[in-house]
Amino acid sequence: MTVAPKESKETSAEAPATAADAGPEPGAEKAGRKEKPGKGREAKEGKEAKEAKGKSKPGAPGKTTKVIPDNPNFRYIVRLANTDLDGTRPTALALTGVRGVGLRIAEVACRLAKVNASEMIGNLPESTVDGLESALGSLSTVLPPWMVNHPNEPVAGESPYYFGPDLETRRRDDINVMKMIRSYRGVRHERGQKVRGQRTRSNGRTGMAAGVIKKAAKEAAAAAGKEEAPAAPAKEAAAPAPAAKKE
């Protein structure tokens, strides 16, 4: 009778497991699970890399591209009416940098000078810029009286249009005239108060005191009232005792 040899524990432990019983590999990870960002220095480096990646995009929002004109005579700063204007802006928008000139007036000046309003003002020659300044100076003869900024001149009887430093000079002269004739607006200008009827209870407080403390004001008024009150008169002297009757 033959007996089958017993398998040793070592050989049974070394036997390979079947494919069904085999577990997942230790290095394998689930596809759906995302790696958590590290903390400290690693997270900071990853954040900086993302920001650098976003900045490197050419069409990123909020990024302005520098204008490089092809004109060799291009001027980045244009001088008009004693004002420095940005040469990379369109002519109509650049003229709004002059004091007293809005977009509508700038477009009218471009039409009078026969200049394309969308052309960069730095591409315009010096003669054309002088034509724009002269067109601004002749607006009082072209525009209706309601469109100028100083209608009904009291001295000359005209309706001129002031711009640039002339506008500020004329404004100071008008204020000085109101102060000289002692008008309401002139007096308000002298005192530094609001001129056009605004409220001054809560706004425009230009006095020395920052605010009013009602409790302290009441106590001071009460103390002053007590000091000014006259002293109470002394009591009348006691009446003399009646004399004894003679028998």
| C-alpha to C-alpha distance for 89 and 86, rounded to whole angstroms | 6
Other Cβ atoms closer than 10 A to 107: 14
Angle between helices 184-191 and 165-180 (to 10 degrees): 110
CATH number, domain 77-147: 1.10.8.50
What is the reported pLDDT for 24?
A: 53
What is the reported pLDDT for 89?
A: 94
Other Cβ atoms closer than 10 A to 217: 10
At residue 90, what are phi and psi to the nearest 5 degrees? -60, 155
What is the reported pLDDT for 19?
A: 47
Instruction: Residue 119: name the closest of 151, 141, 167, 87 by CA.
Output: 87
- Each residue of 172-199: b (16+ CB within 10 Å) or e? eeeeeebeeeeeeebebbeeeeeeeeee
Q: What is the pTM of this model?
A: 0.55
Q: What residues contact residue 185 under an 8 Å CB cut-off, 6+ apart? A: 178, 195
What is the reported pLDDT for 214?
A: 73
pLDDT tens across the length of the chain (247 residues):
455 555 555 555 454 444 445 555 555 555 555 555 555 666 666 666 666 655 545 444 555 666 777 888 899 999 999 999 999 999 999 999 999 999 999 999 999 999 999 999 999 999 999 999 999 999 989 998 888 988 888 777 788 899 999 999 999 999 999 999 999 999 999 999 999 999 988 888 876 665 556 777 888 888 888 877 665 555 555 556 566 665 5
The domain segmentation of the chain, as residue ranges, is 77-147, 164-196
